[in-house]
Amino acid sequence: MLEIRNLHVNVGGQEILKGVNLTIKDGEVHAIMGPNGAGKSTLSYAICGKDGYEVTEGSVTYNGKDILALDPHERAGEGIFLGFQYPVEIPGVSNMNFLRTALNSQRRYRGEKEMAAVDFLKFVRACAKELDMDPEMLKRSVNVGFSGGEKKRNEMVQMAVLNPSFAVLDETDSGLDIDALKIVAEGINRLRASNKSILMITHYQRLLDYVVPDFVHVLAKGKIVKSGNKDLALLLEEKGYVGLGLEENAA
Amino acid sequence: MAVTEKTQQTVDEAVGDYKYGFITDIATERAPKGLNEDIIKFISAKKNEPEWLLDWRLAAYTKWLKMEEPTWAMVDYPKIDFQDIYYYSAPKSAEDGPKSLDEVDPELLRTYEKLGISLKEQELLAGVAVDIVFDSVSVATTFRKKLKEAGIVFCSISEAAHDYPDLMKKYLGSVVPVADNFYSALNSAVFTDGTFVYIPKGVRCPMELSTYFRINEANTGQFERTIIIADEGSYVSYLEGCTAPQRDENQLHAAVVELVTHDDAEIKYSTVQNWYPGDKNGKGGIYNFVTKRGACRGKNSKISWTQVETGSAVTWKYPSCLLIGDNSVGEFYSVAITNNYQQADTGTKMVHIGENTSSTIISKGISAGKSSATYRGLVKVMAGAENARNYTQCDSLLIGDKCGAHTVPYLEIKNPTAKVEHEATTSKISDEQLFYCQQRGLDIEDSVTLIVNGFCKDVMQHLPMEFAVEAQKLLGISLEGSVG
């Protein structure tokens, strides 16, 4: 269970999150929507511990543990995964090598045995196959020369291999065509099926057609201003943030 | 006793011994400090060298006296007093070394552990006195037998002077002339150790040759001299150095390496250099002034240099190829890492002389801390070198904002049919890349290691397997503390 209490976060000296409260129980899928600049990405980076995202007040606990006291890689070891809005390129490092290093680092953190090379190879190929990724892509450098859709698919393969207990997906659906969107949705649903918790950050209700959330929250001006079920997303789609009185007309 | 007197006495003793045919131990451990003709005679006598070699050394010394220390490299270090250096010291006897690993610098042991070096090897590298017979000795003996059967000569340069004088006379100084530069002249006068390899016609050396096999026979020489000759149609892969940092009290190192390939022959020369780089504040560390050059004398011959340079306080090194034979090929793959206050000015020279010669240069420089890394390379196409080709790629990676990277390419093209390409990039390890790796579970140092290894992949893949794994770990260790 992830519990966020009164979370205040500064970025570059400016307060972006101004007291966020959110509880995500095991097996629940939450969606956070909100206008540009509301602090959606800041929330995901703060949960995962990115440098420069300074928590000035409040707490984040995961399964009772204060994760704000942990380094980013330790949070990953605790089972927290971030699906990036813009997956990063790492030239010269093959996907395969990257994943094996990552998985074994997490296993070491949890005091588990590293996975043998042969077992890993089978496992990662199976994950790639289920998400319809060409096994050749595993040999290529991480995200280098990948299309937008391929990068997002790669995020889903990484998620499948690392098998986190809690996943934050930061606009994983942005910039995807409908086929790629379905793949991403399938990746999320696979994780969901094994009773994992998921926080989806999205601009559009489109993804929510494929992954139906248990709860939908609206983040605006650094706070959660409205919560509801999937109908809230539909309402937002219809009327917009301004129409619902959640945001002043930007113009 | 005055120094000169003492020198005279020591030399007399040594030369005296020589006169009477004593080859075995001379009690003196060390020649007195400084350099003069007597010291050179002393060294030559210690090595029981033939007269022609002593004459050669003395001629080199005479030339060296008239030469100036080069100052064009982008490195900065206090002026060296060449009279304040020991030019000969016998290999350390076991009693002088630490008695057990407990007496060895824990920092060094930590590094060995990270590299995954076995305890026995750790003792060997740290110079611990161990009175049992090493496995490596028997291994080396087995290898030597195998090499001998193939007709391959693999011995120390001193042995070669005795046993293969014709080959030595023919090749010594034939690629790097004595007066090529200040340090090559110095080396020619005082070299004390090194390796000699001759691969006969048509022989493919059945194993990677490595000085590693000789590690317990002698400490790394201060002025090493290496000669490798690949006769027609032969092939050899030679590994120099060691990923593990070695105990070494000599501050100045000036090695000379000469390679020769005849028709259809190939030499692959790989180096991992990890000498003491000095401490975090830039105190101490080795000065590494090396002249390495290969001559592709035969047609269709090939010389390939691969180097991973992580150690030394100051590095000045340009492994080069003279592409004389038609269709000959020269390659240079380099990774140079500098951290803290290290300085490296390194690169290559590719001189195209024959027709249809081609060369490839891939240089990856990584600078961290307050260090400085310079790539300096020359591609020269002579008038007669029809259809010469060169491809050069120089990439620099910066870690932090207090380090420097410089690229200084020189092109001299005297034949209009030449095709020369040069690409250069400079990049930084981005916070985004680091966070991405960390979010997937790697700690900050593993993240840097992974990214840097990715950056160097084009070079690392040219290393022989047995070196590659250790070298990958080494990259990470060299950059410890550079981020975060």
**pLDDT tens digits along B337-388:** 888 888 889 999 999 999 999 999 999 999 988 888 899 999 999 999 999 9
Instruction: State whether residue A109 sits within 8 Å of chain B by CB.
Output: yes
d(CA B7, CA B36): 10
B429 to chain A, any CB pair closer than 8 A? The answer is no
Q: What pLDDT was estimated at residue A57?
A: 95
Please tell me which of the candidates A87, A93, A102 has its beta carbon nearest to residue B441.
A102
CATH, range A2-37+71-243: 3.40.50.300
Distance CA A223, CA A220 (A): 6
Closest chain A residue to B431 measured between Cα atoms?
Answer: A51
Over the Cα atoms of chain B, what is R_g?
22
Could you tell me if B348 and B361 are in contact, meaning their C-beta atoms sit under 8 angstroms apart?
A: yes
* Residues in Cβ contact with B397 at an 8 Å cutoff, skipping those fewer than 6 apart: B364, B365, B366, B367, B405, B426, B427, B428, B429, B452, B455
In angstroms, what separates the C-alpha of B449 from chain A's closest C-alpha?
11
Q: Quote the DSSP letter at residue B220.
A: P
CB pairs under 8 A between A and B: 80
What's the N-to-C CA distance of chain A in angstroms? 40
The set of long-range contacts for A135-140, using a CB threshold of 8 Å and a minimum separation of 24, is A137/A95, A138/A94, A138/A95, A138/A96, A138/A99, A139/A94, A139/A95, A139/A96, A140/A94, A140/A95
| Phi, psi dihedral angles at A136 (to 5 degrees) | -60, -30
Which pLDDT does position B465 carry in this prediction?
77
Q: Which residues from chain A sit within 8 angstroms of residue B439, using beta carbons?
A: 48, 72-73, 75-76, 81-82, 84
Q: Cβ of B480: how many Cβ atoms within 10 Å?
A: 14
Whole-angstrom Cα Rg for chain A: 18
In this prediction, residue B264 carries a pLDDT of 97
Q: Count H helices, E strands: chain A?
A: 7, 12
- What is d(CA B413, CA B325) in angstroms, rounded to the nearest whole number? 18
Of B324, B270, B285, B326, nearest to B459 by C-alpha is B270
Cα–Cα distance measured from residue B412 to residue A175, given in angstroms and rounded to the nearest whole number: 49
Q: Which of B268, B136, B286 is nearest to B213 (CA)?
A: B136
Scanning every residue of chain A, which has its alpha carbon at the shortest distance from the alpha carbon of B429? Answer: A90
Residue A104: how many other CB atoms lie within 10 Å: 17
Domain count, chain B: 1
- Asked if A105 has any chain B CB less than 8 Å from its own CB, the reply is yes
Could you tell me if B438 lies within 8 Å of chain A, comparing CB atoms? Answer: yes
Pairing relationship of beta strands B314-317 and B343-352 according to DSSP bridges = parallel
Q: Distance between CA atoms of B437 and B483, rounded to whole angstroms?
A: 14
Contact A17, A54 (CB under 8 A): no
Q: And the tokens for B281? A: 């504040």
The number of CA neighbours under 13 Å toward the Cβ of A141 is 16
Q: Is residue A145 left, alpha or beta, with left meaning phi > 0 and alpha meaning psi from -120 to 50? A: left
Nearest partner of A62 among A51, A78, A74, judged by Cα: A78
CA–CA min distance B347, chain A (Å): 22
Residues facing residue A20 across a β-bridge = A7
Residue with tokens 């006495």: B9
Chain B residues with beta carbon closer than 8 angstroms to that of A50: 435
The enclosing H or E element of B191 equals none
- Contacts of residue B166, Cβ cutoff 8 Å, sequence gap at least 6: none
Quick one: tokens of A126?
A: 């199976």
Residue B459 contacts residue B333 (beta carbons within 8 Å): yes
State residue B148's pLDDT score: 86
- The three-class DSSP label of residue A237 is helix
- Which residue's structure tokens are 């060997």? B124
Return the residue matching tokens 């029809």: B386
> CA–CA separation, B134 vs B140, rounded Å?
10
Q: For residue B151, what are the CA distances in angstroms to B202, B204, B266, B379? A: 11, 11, 17, 36
pLDDT at B119: 61
Q: What type of residue is A228?
A: G
- Give me the tens of pLDDT residue by residue for chain A, a chain 251 residues long: 999 999 999 999 999 999 999 999 999 999 999 888 889 999 999 999 999 999 999 999 999 999 999 999 999 999 999 999 899 999 999 999 999 999 999 999 999 999 998 999 999 999 999 888 999 999 999 999 998 889 999 999 999 999 999 999 998 888 788 888 888 898 899 888 888 999 999 887 888 889 999 999 999 989 999 999 988 888 888 888 887 777 665 44
**Is B451–A90 a contact, with Cβ atoms under 8 angstroms apart?**
yes
Contact list, A101 vs chain B (CB under 8 Å)? 442, 446, 450
The candidate with the shortest Cα–Cα distance to B388, out of B361, B353, B362, B363, is B353
- Among B436, B455, B458, the residue with its CB nearest the CB of A84 is B436
> Is A102 close to B444, i.e. CB distance below 8 A?
no
Query: What tokens appear for A71 in the block?
Result: 């380094």
Q: Is A111 on the interface with B (CB under 8 A)?
A: no
Contact B435 A50 (CB under 8 A): yes
Please count the CA atoms within 13 angstroms of the CA of B47 that sit on its side-chain side. Answer: 25
Q: Does A87 touch chain B (CB under 8 A)?
A: yes
Structure tokens given for B196? 């000699």
Closest CA to B276 of B287, B265, B262: B287
**Residues of B in Cβ contact (< 8 Å) with A106:** 440-441
Conformation bin of residue B329: beta by default, left when phi > 0, alpha when psi is -120 to 50:
beta
Please say whether the beta carbons of B236 and B228 come within 8 A.
yes
CB atoms within 10 A of CB B422: 15
Residue B78: Cβ within 10 Å count: 6
Tokens 């949960």 map to which residue? A47
Copy the structure tokens of residue A123: 């496992």
User: Taking CB atoms and an 8 Å limit, are B440 and A87 in contact across chains?
Assistant: no
Residues in chain A: 251
Q: Which of A50, A71, A93 sits opposite B450 (nearest CB)?
A: A93
| Distance between first and last Cα of chain B | 56
Q: Is residue B474 part of a domain?
A: yes
Which among A73, A75, A92 has the least Cβ separation from residue B442? A73
Query: SS3 for B97?
Result: coil
State both tokens at B468.
Answer: 């590659």
The domain locations on chain A are 2-37+71-243
Ranges of chain B whose pLDDT falls below 50: 1-4, 8, 11-28, 92-95, 128-139, 212-220
Residue B460 phi/psi, 5-degree rounding, is -60, -30
**Can you give the pLDDT at residue B19?**
30
**pLDDT in the model for residue B473:** 80
Enclosing domain of residue B354: 107-478
Q: What is the value of pTM for the model shown?
A: 0.81
Return the percent helix, strand and coil in chain A, to nearest 5: 40, 30, 30
- Phi/psi class of residue B438: alpha, beta or left (left: φ > 0; alpha: ψ in -120 to 50)? alpha
CB A35 within 8 A of CB A240: no
- Contact yes or no for A101 and B430 at CB 8 A: no
- B454:A48 CB<8 A: no
